[in-house]
Amino acid sequence: MKLHHLKPAPGSKSKKIRVGRGEGGRRGKTAGRGTKGQKARSKVRVGFEGGQMPLARRLPKLKGFKNPNKEYFALINVERLSEFPAGTVVGPDELRAQGLIKKRGRVKVLGEGDLDRELTVRAHAFSVGAVEKIKAAGGSVEVVE
C-alpha cells in the first residue's frame, strides 16, 4: 500500500453544496436565506451583538500608552552575586552563563540582601543601595554602556 492509494471511507465525505447558482436548482435565487432582513443580506459586522451594547463599548478606555523607547532591564539583587567566588569579575555574560538572568539586553543590580565577598561587578545600571553594599564588601562597580 502507498500513500496515493489511500482514500476516505465511503460516505465520510459529502459534496459541498453550491448555493445561488440559478433558479433551476434547489438553492437558487435567495440561496436558502429567505427574503429580506438582516440575515438575508451580507454578514453582520465583527463585534455586533444583536443590538446589545458591545463589549468594546462596555469596557472603559485605558489611560496612557506604551512607550516604544522604554528601556527594559533584567533585574538582579546583590544577594544573588554571592554565588560567584571572591575576586571574580561579574558581568552580564557571566550572569547569563550562571542562569541568573535569562534575557539578553541590559542588566540592573539592586540592593536587596547582603554581599560577603569582594567582586568587580559590571552592569548597565545600579541602585544606590547596591553600590553601597558592593563597595562595603571591598568590591568595585563598573557601569557598562
Residue 28's CB is within 10 A of a number of other CB atoms, namely 13
Residue 133, pLDDT score = 95
Q: Examine residue 38 and state whether it is found in any structural domain, yes or no.
A: no
Strand order through the sheet with 73-77: 73-77, 106-110, 125-126
Range of the domain at 98: 73-143
Q: Examine residue 114 and state whether it is found in any structural domain, yes or no.
A: yes
Cα 104 vs. chain centroid, distance in angstroms?
A: 16
pLDDT digits (tens, 9 = 90+) for 68-124: 999 899 999 999 999 999 999 999 999 999 999 988 889 999 999 999 999 999 999
Q: How many domains does the chain have?
A: 1
Q: At 137, which amino acid appears?
A: A
Taken in order 131, 134, 139, 142, is the CA torsion positive or negative?
A: negative
Q: Examine residue 131 and state whether it is found in any structural domain, yes or no.
A: yes
Average pLDDT rounded to a whole number, residues 118-141: 95
pTM, two decimals, is: 0.58
Q: Examine residue 27 and state whether it is found in any structural domain, yes or no.
A: no
Can you give the CATH number for the domain in which 84 is found? 3.100.10.10
Q: Examine residue 85 and state whether it is found in any structural domain, yes or no.
A: yes
pLDDT digits (tens, 9 = 90+) for 31-78: 999 999 888 888 888 999 989 999 999 999 999 999 999 989 999 999
Q: Examine residue 89 and state whether it is found in any structural domain, yes or no.
A: yes
Q: Examine residue 97 and state whether it is found in any structural domain, yes or no.
A: yes
- Report the distance separating Cα 84 and Cα 118, nearest Å: 10
> How would you class 12 by CB atoms within 10 Å of its CB: exposed for 0-12, middle for 13-18, buried for 19 or more?
exposed
Q: In the structure, what pLDDT confidence band is assigned to residue 131 with cuts at 50, 70 and 90?
A: very high
